[in-house]
Amino acid sequence: MDLNKIGYLVNEGLYYPAVLNEVSKNNVPLQPLFEAFTNAFEAIALLKKDPSEHQITVRISYDPGLFDEKRMSQIVIEDTGIGFNDNEFRRFLTFKDTRKGFHNRGSGRLQLIHFFSSVQYDSVFEENGQFKMRRFHLSKSAPFLKENAIAYLDDYSSSKDTFSHTSLMLSGLLSAKDQTAYDMTLANYKEAIINRYIQYFCAHRNALPKIVLQAYNGNEPDEVLEITAEDIPAIDSQEVFSLNYQAHGAFQSLEKLEEFTLQAFRIPKTKLGKNVITLTSKGEIVEEKNFRLTLSILGPEDHVADTRFLFLISSPYINERDSDIRGQLRIPWRKEDPSLFDGDVIYLDDIESGANETIIKMYDELAEKAKEKTLRLSALKEMFLLNDHFLSSLNISINDTEEKILEKVYVHESKLAAKGDAELKKQYDQLTTLDPKSKGYDGDMDRIVKQLVKEIPHQNRAALTHYVARRKLVLELFQQVLDRNLDIQRSGRNEDEKLLHNILFTQGAGSAEQSDLWILNEDFILFKGVSETKLKDVTIDGEKIFKDVLTVEEEAFVNANREKRLTKRPDVLLFPAEEKCIILEFKTPETNIADHLAEINYYASLILNLTKDTYPFKTFYGYLIGETLEPLDIKFNDSDFQDSAHFDYAFRPAKRILGVFKSFQGSLYTEVLKYSTLLKRANKRNEALINKLFPPANVNDEPPF
């Protein structure tokens, strides 16, 4: 390509219509301004002189509108940098040339023509001791693309100027949607530039070029602002840490030390999008991804008192190991082949670790926040049976609430479930490809079955973990009630029985399936049942079980002594099968259970004698539950009770239930036990499930999620 020939500048080997499709328009409306600003910084840096002797000027021209509204019509970005000499002009015209680029990706110029119809460059540069001028413009219009070009050289000639400089003029926004972003005030432009380049500004706070922003109302100067050191956050803290060199080709520490300086900046979170720790070389931030460090104590989006942190690491060691290509350092990670590097080294891993340890010492508040996060995670992990490997894969912030952490867990679980479902579907679809007549049928079937067996446990584990974790919470709440630790237990009358009752089976509820009666017996949640319901209103499958019409004798008994016996409310009634009924009675922890042994007998007698003939209840199971239990009191009240061999409860194998209004009699099995015994039993069962889900750790095991 002839750089100095007036006309279209055709880059052989590129087809620009395809290139423009590949590099789409950026979704940041101010991207052209930022591209121009980046190029201005780079042009000044390439002079290798004191940046403070140079200047970047941004001129915003507005067309005055009605009601004092202003409409941006033109932006001009000027710099006193190196200018477009032959070398820089050739690089500018080369697609994806990233050499020595400050944030340079080699395609920024395409953003200019994606946004603006008019992109005009005027540049003066020094070549062989003489100053020359290049004027060219960019476009993606049809005439340009017809020539397979995006640049047109308008002029190349000698210049009378005595210093290099470049001016870029942008006008004619191609999309009306972008206009609003450019119609902002000059102060907003200043803020946008500071926010965009906050890392660079912090690293060069005392060595910035003069940055001037000018507003024009039509052709008249209207306002002038500057970006100065006072606008840039100052160093908040600075520490020096030392690291040992490692012997070449071996992880062996040497006595030789190197010092590293860590500078910390506190920046409002509105100005710094994420926490950053980065190397700097010769005053420049190292952007190359192969040398990016991880900040261990803070997540990228964490903030402390609405501020984020920028940490810059500098050292003569880093400067000496910089290469001719900016950002390429001769500093290895430990995983790299040491033979590729000469001499003794300090690894990037050690720099990263040393910096993170220094940060913890610099900021007690960060260490405290990290500790709080660890404690919060530990509590949730214990409570909800969350897996360490699973948690480590999530981006959990020190600012995340418990609700937010669990939300992240469940969202991630849903993604894994979707992936697992897709894999199961894939295995299922393979069934249609099997040929039972083929010789390989048995092997193919075994392969599919093995994959299904492998996938299904992963699918079920998350649901089962939630199930067991919820039970763990319920048991913890049950213990808290027994220990009288709930706020409501300290604030008024004793309602412990009601609290325990509602944990087991909410009063007034009609579905045992939604209850936590598994605490007493796993089977109980499978049965139909009611809680705290008048006998006359008890139903099975929507049908009342007690007689609608009573005989004279039955009516006299039911209402004798104004008792209204069918309005009594057993705590819980369960109906596991025909002719069977389970009766549960709960007492306050302070109540002596022995004083209430006859209650279940009485309820069983009412149910046997006064229910409809279609409900011939003959077998009853009763559970009288409290906390104050003296075994001898039980036996002195009813000598048929026996002590259990395990756990602390008493039972009576059988008690005859008299049939007065029925032609048959019934039998009642009864247990008398403590709430604490229930809890002990339930904890044993739940622990067994937990141990199945999370067996003792084995380093060779695959992660459970």
Token output for 253: 């520490």
Q: Given a cut of 60, is residue 103 above it in pLDDT?
A: no
pLDDT at residue 171, as a whole number:
96
346 close to 246: Cβ distance less than 8 angstroms: yes
Q: Given a cut of 50, is residue 700 above it in pLDDT?
A: no
Query: What is the maximal distance between C-alpha atoms in the chain?
Result: 127
Digit-coded pLDDT (tens) for 678-690: 898 888 888 877 7
- Which pLDDT band, with edges at 50, 70 and 90, does 699 fall under? very low
> Rounded to an integer, what distance in angstroms lies between the CA atom of residue 83 and that of residue 88?
8
Total residues belonging to the chain = 705
Q: Given a cut of 70, is residue 405 above it in pLDDT?
A: no
3-state secondary structure of 401: coil
Q: Given a cut of 90, is residue 428 above it in pLDDT?
A: no
Q: What are phi and psi of 227, to 5 degrees?
A: -100, 115
With a CB cutoff of 8 Å and minimum separation 6, the contacts of 60 are 72, 74, 75, 186, 189, 213, 214, 215, 216
pLDDT at residue 705, as a whole number:
37
pLDDT at residue 659, as a whole number:
94
How many Å separate Cα 92 from the centre of its chain? 41
Digit-coded pLDDT (tens) for 588-608: 999 999 999 999 999 999 999
pTM (two decimals): 0.55
- Which pLDDT band, with edges at 50, 70 and 90, does 190 fall under? very high
- Which pLDDT band, with edges at 50, 70 and 90, does 390 fall under? low
> Rounded to an integer, what distance in angstroms lies between the CA atom of residue 83 and that of residue 165?
5
pLDDT at residue 75, as a whole number:
97
* Across 97-101, 188-192, 436-440, least confident range: 97-101
Overall average pLDDT of the 25-31 stretch: 89
Architecture field, domain 7-229: 2-Layer Sandwich (3.30)
pLDDT at residue 11, as a whole number:
80
Kindly calculate the radius of gyration of the chain based on its CA atoms and give it in whole angstroms: 40
Strand 276-281 vs strand 307-314: parallel, antiparallel, or unpaired? parallel
Q: Given a cut of 80, is residue 625 above it in pLDDT?
A: yes
Q: Given a cut of 90, is residue 568 above it in pLDDT?
A: yes
> Rounded to an integer, what distance in angstroms lies between the CA atom of residue 169 and that of residue 58?
10
pLDDT at residue 317, as a whole number:
93
Overall average pLDDT of the 571-583 stretch: 91
* Across 243-247, 337-341, 422-426, 532-536, least confident range: 422-426
CA nearest 361: which of 241, 280, 267, 265?
241
Digit-coded pLDDT (tens) for 440-464: 777 777 777 666 555 555 555 566 6
- Which pLDDT band, with edges at 50, 70 and 90, does 416 fall under? low
Digit-coded pLDDT (tens) for 207-251: 899 999 999 998 899 999 999 999 999 999 999 999 999 887 777
Mean of pLDDT over the chain: 85
CA nearest 120: which of 152, 95, 89?
152
571 close to 596: Cβ distance less than 8 angstroms: no
Token output for 434: 């099997």
Question: Strand runs (DSSP E) across 23-100, as ranges?
Answer: 55-64, 70-79
102 close to 42: Cβ distance less than 8 angstroms: yes
- Which pLDDT band, with edges at 50, 70 and 90, does 621 fall under? very high
CA nearest 211: which of 223, 194, 233, 234?
194
pLDDT at residue 243, as a whole number:
94
